[in-house]
Amino acid sequence: MAETAIRIRAQMKDDVTEVKALMSHEMETGLRKDKKTGEVIPAWFIKDVVCEHNGKQVMVAHWGVAVSKNPYLSFKFKGAAKGDTVKVSWTDNKGGAATSEAKVE
């Protein structure tokens, strides 16, 4: 059962659209050991986050393992109109990916 991998809210006030996104991801640092086996739990984290407005890139984030689990991101940009599409996509170090869209309100 797939739940929304990236939850997005995009709200416009005056000319500025504030985008907030909550992502579902372990963001494993690669520095922890499994308590039972003693083995290092491999790093597993989102590396790139691409944010687009109406198909045009507005922000690209590069993340390391210090970003918290179930990461949150918020940024602001100008020039949108209500009903426009904001899209957020991520790729992680294991080749995993997710993408989600929301309309500007």
Partner 1 sequence: MKRRTFLKGTVASSMLGVAVSAGLLTPRMVLAAWPESAFGAKNVDDALNALLGSTSTSESSAIDIKAPDIAENGAVVPITVSTSMSGVESIAVLIKENPSPLACSYDLSANTEGFISCRVKMGKTSDLIAVVKSGGKLHSAKKTVKVTIGGCGG
Partner 2 sequence: MKKLLLITAVVSTIGAAPMVSQASPEDDLKAFRGFFLERFPNVPLDEFANGVYAIDAASREQWEAIEEFPPYEIAIEKGEVMFNTPFKNGKTYASCFRNGGIGIKGDYPSFNADTGKVETLEGAINDCRAKNGEATIDPEKGPMVDLTAYMAFTTRGQVTDVKIPHDQRAMDAYEDGKHHYYARRGQLNMACAHCHVDNAGNKVRADILSPALGHTTHFPVYRSSAGGMVSLHHRFVGCNDQVRAAPFKAQSDEYRNLEYFLTYMSNGIPWNGPGARK
d(CA 73, CA 62): 12
Q: How far is CA 51 from the centre of its chain?
A: 8
Please pick, from the candidates 9, 13, 35, 39, the single residue that binds partner 1 as defined by CB under 8 A: 9
* Binding characters for partner 2, 18-57, by CB under 8 A (x = yes): --xxx-x-x-------------------------------
Interacting positions 47-86 with partner 1 (CB under 8 A):
47-48, 50, 52, 55-69, 71-79, 85
Q: What does 12 bind: partner 2, partner 1, none (CB cut-off 5 to 8 Å by kind)?
A: none
Contact between 28 and partner 1 by CB under 8 A: the answer reads no
- Encoded tokens for 41: 């739990």
Which one among 7, 28, 41, 84 touches partner 1, defined by CB under 8 A? 7
Q: Which x/- pattern, by CB under 8 A, does the window 30-49 give for partner 1? A: -x---------------xx-
Please enumerate in sequence order all residues whose Cβ is within 8 A of that of 100, keeping only pairs 6 or more positions apart, or say none: 4, 5, 6, 7, 8, 21, 87, 88, 89
In sequence order, the 6+-apart residues with CB closer than 8 A to the CB of 89 are 6, 49, 50, 51, 52, 97, 98, 99, 100
Residue 66 interacting with partner 2 (CB under 8 A): no
